[in-house]
Amino acid sequence: MSAANEHPIRLLAIRDTPLSLDEVFAAVGDPAAGGTALFVGTVRDHDGGADVAGLGYSAHPSAEGELRRVAEAVAADFPVRALAAVHRVGDLAVGDLAVVVAVSCPHRAEAFAACRRLIDDLKSEVPIWKHQVFSDGTEEWVGA
């Protein structure tokens, strides 16, 4: 199948294994794309003024279906040549990759806009919750 006939959603996953920038970037390669935008979300060492020791992500069983729905909406609203999104679940350490999304489009402005919409909608609509553990032993759930 040529790239022109290929479905634009090339990779969607929720995984309990480390994420790969190379895998996501390769998934959105397309000879008709003049711009590719990639977003990488990592576990940071602080939140709200508190030091983060680590965190865990949990996903509802419907999360992969919701991720597909979000991806299909982005692909329908922008001239997407290729799209990929992967999110990690399980326990993560500071510096680990939590989410990687990428979109390729004919032009850079479209790629940036589609990628931004993809990550924003993923974070607001896909039922994935973050459990942060702080250095002082306190903890909180985010997005639950």
Region label for 10, one of left (φ > 0), alpha (ψ between -120 and 50) or beta (otherwise)? alpha
pLDDT(123) > 90: yes
Residues 67/89, Cβ–Cβ less than 8 Å: no
pLDDT at 4 over 80: no
How many whole angstroms separate alpha carbon 30 and alpha carbon 139? 43
pLDDT averaged over every residue in the chain = 94
pLDDT digits (tens, 9 = 90+) for 24-34: 999 999 999 99
pLDDT of 35 reads: 98
